[in-house]
Structure 1
Amino acid sequence: MPQAVLAVDQGTTNSKAALISADGRVLSTGSSPVALTTPHPGWVEQDPENIWQSVLKAIALCLNAASGAARTPAVEVVGIALSTQRESVVGWDRSGRPVGSVLGWQDVRTSSWCAQLPAAVDEVVRRRTGLRVDAMFSAPKMRWLLDRSPDARVGTVDSWLIHRLTGCREHLTDAGNAARTLLYDLTALDWSTELLEGFGVPRAALAEVRPSNAGFGSTKDVPGLSDGIPIVAVLADSHAAMYGQGCTQTGMVKATYGTGSSVMTPVDEFVPGGCTLAWLTDHPVYALEGNIVSSGAALAWTADLLGLPDVGALMALAATVPSAEGVVLVPAFAGLGAPHWDREARAALTGMSSSTTRAHIARAAVDAVAHQICDITDTIPGELTTLRADGGATVSDLLMQTQADLLGHPVEAADVPEISALGAAELAWTTVGASTNWSQHRTYRHFTPTATDRTHRRTTWSTAVTATRTTPTQPTPT
């Protein structure tokens, strides 16, 4: 019977599962949607049990697809790898019952609270974690949940899934996910007592941090899976994508196009104030990263605005015109993320005239996604050698060509939709002794810059962004 790692990729809007062999072949997949609610402006919530059930359904569909009509095990699952959405926070009691909703990474209910923190806290955050105080990260959300359930355990989504996969026996997290909380010291590689006190989060409420491939318990009472299957590796989804893309050298940049976007490039050492931890194995791997709040979400919003059924229809409409004809969409629906970090910025649609059509607005939405990636790459020091793209929106040749044109640099789009799952699975197989390096054998669609008006388009975009902002500051990636 062939062996496989079961890779679970739990994202913002979907949970996916894939059985992946030691040579990187995807043997079968399963997917289940995850509901998301916005009960108040700026609030983004999910149901912890809905996330768990979506994972179980994705696993069941994946296993059933592997076994076929016979419904008998066709693959031996030798380990589990997790790739999970980052920064979102779950709280649960000692019996494993959720104490409230998941506070999503897009949730900005704590923005005012963050703004009132002493400047000294932000200085320590930058020095210890490489990040900045912002409502996107986990610590303010943890404090919000603990204010309402003081005895709760809190954790990121990887902790919640580990807890459930192990029969509610473990409270663990990987170092890469911990690095996104504002509470993890990237040089000491441990929770920072100084930051725990600054945010009012007790250490006892938090998970034990382990290296990304250190082992995270084993399965117990999981429908469809035998007890005792080890959880071998855990990575945050953006980190797993960088691992799966093989972006391990300075100058290589990974861009993930999801609900939001993550742009990451590895660096040789920790840089205070501009770094994150990608993963921790026998040594830490650091990366510069910029987070975009609204990319795929901007495409979905525009499709809805124009009365289109989905993003695919938006892309088709956008392709009917050669350009946006000066129309610019700045999708600051929840403010701007990197490199601007202005939560008070507001979305704007500018440059319209009496000749503007729905197609021009659609094209402006496509441009907005690519411009935001460029905003981050423009802040990365050194020479860009490779930009590898992944995520759902990369199926659009129009978006990828637009990205190459605005970047002024070739773009390589992975032809594998399960890149985060593959990254986590590759780390798992490497941990158990298999020879991997799968990215060397991966195929890419290549896009070469063709436009000659890059400077003008970038300037027009920059002017529109500035007009939406209330507190212009020096751009930084993280």
Structure 2
Amino acid sequence: MPRQYIISIDQSTQGTKALLFDSSGSLIKRTDEAHEQIINEKGWVSHDPAEIYRKVIEVTARLLEESGIDKSKVAGVGISNQRETSLAWNRVTGEPVGKAVVWQCARAADICDQLVCAGWAEKIREKTGMELSPYFPASKIAWILKNVEGAKELADAGELCHGTIDSWLVYKLTGGKSYKTDYSNASRTQLFNIFDLTWDDEICKVFGIDPANLATVCDSNADFGETDFEGVLPHKVPIHAVMGDSHGALFGQGCLKSGMIKSTYGTGSSIMMNIGDDPVLSTHGVVTSLAWSMDGRVNYVLEGNLNYTGAVITWLKNDLQMIGSPAETEELARQAASDDCLYLVPAFSGLGAPYWDSRATGMFTGMTRTTGRAEMVRASLECIAYQIQDVMEAMSKDAGVGISELRVDGGPTKNDYLMQFQSDIAGIAVQVPDTDELSGMGPAYAAGMALGLWDEGIFGKLDRRKYTPQMEKSLRQKKYEGWKQAVGKVLA
């Protein structure tokens, strides 16, 4: 068989990666480009959709040029995307209507508050599996329709597309021929009925959204249309998988069976537990959504989302200037006084799962005269593990199962201190794969499977390093109780 390749586009909060996989499923090349984080005086976080699309083309062109492969051997494309980031564009011209509202941004909180007062919160949760929150696209799109000039008029005329980054990229890459999303992304919008598996007319109406303006929902391994990346390839190839980035990581980790759990450490974090084909509505502050749909069969997940995990390290570097690079955090954490009781609750734009308080603000608590730079850096690292443990604890209660292993991915998993502390505070094994490109690997593997390049045996290729608990149980309980008390001060 002639050697064939899969391109995977991993479009994330901070930038865009292009990944090249060969016919054995091995990652052979990566290129990436950052894009601007637009933050105004109100703290609103935005992205420029046109810049994001331009970066997709640029990183793909550079990927193919630097790899030196025969471009005619590219067989297909997979896409993973930052999920809840929401945008609108003109269906006729293909031009963005305003900026994209980033998932971190809580500017639509008032819209959610009004729906809570009107008594809609529980019905929305029962249909979508998610707590009413400005985190999700429903209120973000409603905000765009209400506040961005020209958006409502285009929507009323049936000339507006709105949704998530995946549908934007599919639309642009196919020259406007394909306006589609997959089940994983649709299930995160808070507009999709996860039981009926369709856009929910009643909920769309509550948010002032016409479902006719939403994308067609497809299997995650469907054919989403063809692209040549504006002439970068000599021929058009199918986009044969689309997944939200966290779903892609779950798939790439091989968490294909009920009860398997993973955490992605990115700007924020997504903790996901595969619960099979039977949806369970959470009563402990996490959400229920779809893992994916493959060949007409859906899998459900419990998921908890955190706004600030890896972004806390970025905050230390860029805003506080306490570190020169993320790598410094590990040694500083080891230098911190062992008996220091400092905690950071990173509620810079509210708290996500399992608390869902969009108005909470951040706090350092437990400072003493011995608290210094090392202790602040350690507290910033440890808050990542504490938040993830909060979510896993909630999931375990909802699913009625104990968790024995956590599979993890993302840049911060290179930090040995953080990974060992995660294992210690959770009291379970933590497995770290030999690659941190799981978000892009998932749709690449799904696309390759759809195109017949490989089968499920591909998941056995991952090597993993394993962390096991080393902390005494009494100390673990003391530390975790201190975290709970710190969070209580933020919520009070």
TM range (shorter): over 0.9
The question of whether the paired residues in 2 share the 8 Å contact of 1:244 and 1:422 is answered with: yes
- Change over 3 Å in CA distance of 1:320–1:74 after alignment to 2: farther
- Change over 3 Å in CA distance of 1:45–1:205 after alignment to 2: same
Which moved further from structure 2: 104-113 or 167-176? 167-176
The question of whether the paired residues in 2 share the 8 Å contact of 1:172 and 1:210 is answered with: yes
Deviations 1:328-364 (A, max 9, x none): 0110111110011111221110111111120011000
Give, in angstroms, the shift of residue 324 of structure 1: 6.8
- Change over 3 Å in CA distance of 1:179–1:308 after alignment to 2: same
Corresponding letter in the other structure for 2:290: L
Aligned to 2:444: 425
Which moved further from structure 2: 370-379 or 268-277? 268-277
Aligned to 2:201: 193
Give, in angstroms, the shift of residue 23 of structure 1: 2.2
TM-score normalized by structure 2?
0.92
* 1:52-451 pair list within 5 angstroms: 52-67=53-68, 73=70, 76-93=73-90, 94-118=92-116, 120-147=119-146, 148=148, 149-150=151-152, 151=154, 152-219=160-227, 222-268=230-276, 269-273=278-282, 274-281=287-294, 282-303=296-317, 304-321=319-336, 323=338, 325-381=340-396, 382-433=401-452, 434-451=454-471
Deviations 1:49-89 (A, max 9, x none): 1111111122122111210xxxx736611111001110111
The question of whether the paired residues in 1 share the 8 Å contact of 2:432 and 2:465 is answered with: yes
Corresponding letter in the other structure for 1:266: N
The question of whether the paired residues in 2 share the 8 Å contact of 1:279 and 1:286 is answered with: yes
Corresponding letter in the other structure for 2:3: P
Cα distance in 2 between the residues matched to 1:322 and 1:84: 40
SS in 1 for 2:39: coil
SS in 2 for 1:215: coil
Q: Which runs of 5+ in 1 are unaligned?
A: 471-478
The question of whether the paired residues in 2 share the 8 Å contact of 1:22 and 1:436 is answered with: no
Corresponding letter in the other structure for 2:76: G
SS in 2 for 1:319: helix
The question of whether the paired residues in 1 share the 8 Å contact of 2:11 and 2:81 is answered with: yes
SS in 2 for 1:254: strand
Give, in angstroms, the shift of residue 29 of structure 1: 1.4
Give, in angstroms, the shift of residue 322 of structure 1: 5.8
The count of corresponding residues between Structure 1 and Structure 2 is 466
The question of whether the paired residues in 1 share the 8 Å contact of 2:322 and 2:373 is answered with: no
Corresponding letter in the other structure for 1:442: L
The question of whether the paired residues in 2 share the 8 Å contact of 1:429 and 1:436 is answered with: no
The question of whether the paired residues in 1 share the 8 Å contact of 2:72 and 2:234 is answered with: no
The question of whether the paired residues in 2 share the 8 Å contact of 1:252 and 1:385 is answered with: no
Give, in angstroms, the shift of residue 289 of structure 1: 0.3
Corresponding letter in the other structure for 2:123: V
The question of whether the paired residues in 2 share the 8 Å contact of 1:331 and 1:368 is answered with: yes
Q: Which runs of 5+ in 2 are unaligned?
A: 155-159
Cα distance in 2 between the residues matched to 1:334 and 1:221: 36
The question of whether the paired residues in 2 share the 8 Å contact of 1:413 and 1:444 is answered with: yes
Give, in angstroms, the shift of residue 19 of structure 1: 1.2
Aligned to 2:157: none
- Change over 3 Å in CA distance of 1:451–1:75 after alignment to 2: farther
Corresponding letter in the other structure for 2:129: G
Corresponding letter in the other structure for 2:450: T
What is the root-mean-square deviation of aligned Cα atoms in Å?
1.6
The question of whether the paired residues in 2 share the 8 Å contact of 1:20 and 1:27 is answered with: yes
SS in 1 for 2:423: helix
Aligned to 1:476: none
Deviations 1:441-476 (A, max 9, x none): 211111111111100000001000000104xxxxxx
Cα distance in 1 between the residues matched to 2:336 and 2:441: 36
- Change over 3 Å in CA distance of 1:221–1:455 after alignment to 2: closer
SS in 1 for 2:378: helix
The question of whether the paired residues in 1 share the 8 Å contact of 2:194 and 2:290 is answered with: yes
- Change over 3 Å in CA distance of 1:326–1:38 after alignment to 2: same
